[in-house]
Structure 1
Amino acid sequence: MTESVKVQPKVWSNPWHFLAFGFGSGLLPKAPGTWGSIVAIPFIPLWQMLPDWGYWLMLGLTMLFGFWVCGRVAEDMGVHDHEGIVWDEMVGMWITLWLVPEGWYWLLVGFVVFRIFDILKPWPIRWIDRHVHGGVGIMLDDVLAGVFAWLAMQGIVWLSVIVWP
């Protein structure tokens, strides 16, 4: 795929584009990854109502779906990873907040922690972002950012229990 054959997303007429573009949030002109992460937040209280294994299952299904839908939409558009494809950020946010206490404070902390890892892309995230292509490549860097952020959140939760019992 070359950048010269780019086409516009069909977000409002193609359901796969609509989902991959985070229900349209990826069309916003500034920081679409941040907007996609914000769009993921209202789902988290719903996922937290599931048993832990149900949330885990939802993560697996949305990740597998993301490998496919992100790859398909990128191929439709003729690009490697259009910045407006934000399904990967949504799944990264959902990973970040698995097994984290409920409440707006934790959602805000998780959002900030995830965005830090997603933007800075520490090794091996940056390497994967540059060398793995297709739907797997689009998803995998944000999945790993979500895992790194999840580990950080688990540490923050643990510290909060010790410091503020």
Structure 2
Amino acid sequence: MRERVKVAYPSFDWVRAEPARLVAFGFGSGLIRPASGTWGTLLAWLIWAVVAGFLSDLVIGVALVALFAYGCWACQRASRQLHVDDHVGIVCDEMVAFWLVLWLTPDSFFAQLLAFGLFRLFDIAKPPPIKYFDSRIKGGFGVMWDDIVAAAYSLFVMAIAVRLGVFA
């Protein structure tokens, strides 16, 4: 039986040793301190800017579902290896949730910047029921789910802004 070593704050070498860890830690962006969630979200935005224009809505939708499922597994695996429920460096949840926000946000820098700010606000502040889900649902699904709810809050505010003509 392999002994599990507790890692308080993993190194990049530890993160890149397994694909699940690399994904869970946002390709290493989750190792940047402070505000690892913000760094992961910024990397997600950069990846989106480079890739999204080449993908159809169908491909993006399927990819988001697949990435959510893989993220649940990867976050669970990394969390177990670190002996924590949701390590601060795990940012896959922010990345997938923010890609959902970007997918449904108007395609302008201002709209995406507002969406970024809203998403970070809701992810950090954790208004109900986000805080409830964050404290009650454990494991990889729990890590991913509270960020999806933060994305839903962000999208709700963005929908109001669109309806009010903010991005016209």
Smaller-chain TM-score bracket: 0.7 to 0.9
Secondary structure, aligned partner of 1:122: coil
Distance 1:153 1:22 in 2: 25
Contact kept in structure 2, 1:26 and 1:36, CA below 8 Å:
yes
SS at match of 2:15: coil
Q: Post-superposition shift, 1:12?
A: 3.0
Give matches, 1:13-162, under 5 Å: 13-45=17-49, 46-160=51-165
Paired residue type of 1:73: A
Q: Which range is displaced more, 125-134 or 6-15?
A: 6-15
**RMSD of aligned C-alpha atoms?**
1.7
Q: Which runs of 4+ in 1 moved over 3 A?
A: none
Which one-letter code corresponds to 2:41 in the other structure? S
The answer to whether the Cα contact below 8 Å between 1:21 and 1:27 also exists between their aligned partners in 2 is yes
Work out the number of aligned pairs and report it: 159
Instruction: Give the secondary-structure state (helix, strand or coil) at the position aligned to 2:144.
Output: helix
The 2-side partners of 1:19 and 1:119 are apart by 21
Q: Which runs of 5+ in 1 are unaligned?
A: none
| Deviation sequence 1:112-140 (CA, Å, 0-9, x none) | 01001101111111001001100011111
Query: Residues 19 and 104 (structure 1 numbering): CA distance in 2 closer, same or farther, change over 3 Å?
Result: same
Q: In percent, how many aligned pairs have the same letter?
A: 41
Per-residue CA deviations over 1:64-104 (Å, capped at 9, x if unaligned) read 11111100110111111100000000011111122222122
Asked whether the equivalents of residues 37 and 91 of structure 2 are also in contact (C-alpha less than 8 Å), the reply is yes
